Amino acid sequence: MFGVTILGNNSALPAYDRHPTAQVVTLNDQLLLIDCGEGTQTQLSKYKIRRSKINHILISHLHGDHYFGLPGLITSMGLLGREHDLHVYAPAALETILHLQLKAGNTDLPFALHFHALENFEDILIDEKKFSVQLFTTEHRVRCWGFIIKEKKMPRKINKEVVQQYAIPASYYESLQRGEAYTNKAGYTFKNEVLTIPNKAAKSYVYCADTRYVEKNTSICKQATLLYHETTYLQNCEHKAALRFHSTSIQAGTFAANAGAHKLIIGHFSSKYECLDEFLTETQTVFPNTELALEGVTFLV
């Protein structure tokens, strides 16, 4: 299972029971939290997502609607007796703020909190056995990062019928999965592609954070299986969007098309819009395979 659950899809001012930005990425048994607006811990409870399963929290930038829920979530994790490590990846200035908050509350967390400052463009931030997280920078009013969460390439699968037919010992299966050939005692070499079949392609989720339209990022995000792009405004507010370094529906759709994404989800809606239908119809004129990032919905990557 590789999916994204939306906890908050609104921009800065909470409105119409929509919440500030937060998303949970599920990668098998791993949960990653992307951004953590005020109220994220309550949204996690509402959607029955276990806080204890979250080991990595990624914060894209330091506008409050993307991180004001973080100190509450961290202290709640402590009150719930968490003992295993937590990794927070965020702009450097957050480390001082968090430390001052913990100090002011005289809070000793019962777990290790590891802070990783977001730095260079295109850094590999997390490199785990089954997935990686890569950074890229967006263009916003403050320094802001997007995240590319990629499954690691899956090993090839053994073609059971064929290996049994040629009586290839099981001790060679691992090397076959890595793509190696096999030579039997008689000196005959079997090509790997005869003995194995390709596994399903590695998928990726790309989170574009808050940003204006950035053409060069389409190549970095190319062929995302699932792409999230903000659409704070409808197209008739293009000028306002530009002033505030945000994007419109048409710009998000154009970005997805130019990046060659398979599917697009859109969010970070301005609180001036009660109804979201037009966001979908406008974006779909450019990129048909678009959905609204509705809260509580899980999108499979």
184 interacts with a second copy by CB under 8 A: no
CB of residue 106 vs a second copy: minimum separation in angstroms? 5
- Catalytic residue of the set 65, 85, 108, 123: 65
Q: Which of 28, 52, 84, 96 binds a second copy (CB under 8 A)?
A: 96
Based on the shown chain and the rule CB under 8 A, indicate whether residue 296 belongs to the binding site for a second copy.
Answer: no
The verdict on 8 binding a second copy (CB under 8 A) reads no
Cβ neighbours of residue 48 closer than 8 Å, sequence gap 6 or more: none
146 binds a second copy (CB under 8 A): no
Residues 26-55 as x/- pattern, contact with a second copy by CB under 8 A: ------------xx-xx--x----------
**Where in 122-141 is the site for a second copy (CB under 8 A)?**
141
Examine residue 64 and tell whether it contacts a second copy (CB under 8 A). yes
- Binding a second copy (rule: CB under 8 A), the pick from 94, 135, 163, 265 is 94
Catalytic (active site) residue 210: no
Which residues contribute to the site for a second copy (CB under 8 A)?
Answer: 12-15, 38-39, 41-42, 45, 62-65, 68-69, 71-72, 75-76, 79-80, 91, 93-94, 96-97, 100-101, 103-107, 141-142
